[in-house]
Structure 1
Amino acid sequence: MSGTQDQPKLKPAQRPRTAARVAAVQALFQIEQNGDRPDSVIEQFLVHRFGTALDGQTYEDGRIPEADTQLFSAIVRAGAANHTAIMQTISATLPSTWPIERLDPVLRALFLAAMAEAQSDETPAAVLINEYMDVAHGFFSGDEPRLVNGVLDTVFKQMKAAQDHDGAPAGQPD
């Protein structure tokens, strides 16, 4: 067995968009739990949480090295602005026996971030699902990543179907 198999594929610091997504989940969690204003939380992260500290602090220390701050800010703003609509969509996707209030607050923040980012229509749904499953694995060790996969896959398919329905009819030229 080679030594490269024992090493992670990419360190978080080498994945600025993933770091931005992790931070967005944390920020949206903070906004929901504390009732903080999105711009205030974004500013806190930009000033106090992003970048590499001189003493080498890491994620475990609350630092988020090399994050894409523009993506982070866009996700947090969109998630906060569309909170109610996104939560309604997630609630409608979950089984009726599992109300959204029953979800772990971090999981709610993760869904909020993923769907807010999906609304920008810049990143393919399959990429977002994989990215947010990776983020879920960072926060959870149980079945939550599978739930993330199932819920996001369903919601993104519904969003695509709605976009296709609102566009030109099938078989018609644009």
Structure 2
Amino acid sequence: MKKAEPKKGEVKRSEPKANRRGAARLAAVQALYQMDIAGTGLNDILAEFESHWLGREVEGDQYLPAEAAFFRDIVTGFVAEQRRLDPVIDETLLNGWPLKRVETILRAVMRAGAFELDKRRDIPARVVVSEYVAVANAFVDRNETGMVNAVLDVLARRLRAGELDPAG
């Protein structure tokens, strides 16, 4: 399996329990990346990640135990909403830069973030944006995380009108 490799190493087991959702987000982005790159089907990717990656040591890296139900919700939820959410992300990208031309890992980050902003109203928009910027930071440099931040911020204001004040 080709896995998106974080540039700063994996999350360590000593991280607080609260980071199980963060680990689920990271795994969801990796799963969406794998689906995009290799064309892996939904059921196969869920089975692979749940049995071989979440909370396991892989190639010397210890993966933090993730909230498996949250991981599954993000991946299956995005796949179910992809036809609706991809055009929304496309409209948000500046200068007519289509989503299909965005680096695969960044596309996966934006997709997972867009799903959460759209469907997980129990999680504050600012938390969703911040968490996915942190996930992006594990894979790419600061300039590219700035793009993720900008796109998700616009999506948050669009998908959750009223939650974020205009002054931001």
TM-score (norm 2): 0.80
- Tell me the SS of whatever aligns to 1:75: helix
Query: In the alignment, which residue of structure 2 is the partner of 1:134?
Result: 134
Which residue is equivalent to 2:80? 81
Mapping of 1:145-164 within 5 angstroms? 145-161=145-161
Match of 1:31 among 30, 35, 55: 35
SS in structure 1 of the partner of residue 95 of structure 2: coil
Q: Secondary structure at the match of 1:51?
A: coil
> What is the percentage of aligned positions where both structures have the same residue?
32
Unpaired segments of 5 or more residues in structure 2?
Answer: 1-10, 164-168
> What is the total number of aligned residue pairs between the two structures?
149
- Which residue does 1:99 correspond to in 2? 98
Distance 1:87 1:158 in 2: 14
Structure ranking higher on relative contact order (CA contacts 8 Å, 6+ apart): 2
Partner-residue secondary structure (3-state), 2:94 = coil
TM-score, scaled to structure 1: 0.78
**2:21 aligned with 1:22:** no
Please list, as runs of the form range in 1=range in 2, the aligned pairs for 1:44-123 lying within 5 A after superposition. Answer: 44-53=48-57, 57-58=60-61, 64-118=63-117, 119-123=119-123
For 1:26 and 1:67, locate their aligned partners in 2 and report how far apart those are by CA, in whole Å: 13
- Report the RMSD for the aligned CA atoms in angstroms: 2.2
CA distance in 1, matches of 2:101, 2:132: 20
Q: Would you say the 8 A contact 1:58–1:65 is kept in 2?
A: no
Please list every run of 5 or more consecutive structure 1 residues that lacks an aligned counterpart in the other structure: 1-9, 164-174
Question: Deviating runs (4+, > 6 A) in structure 1?
Answer: none
Conserved? CA contact 2:125–2:160, under 8 Å: no
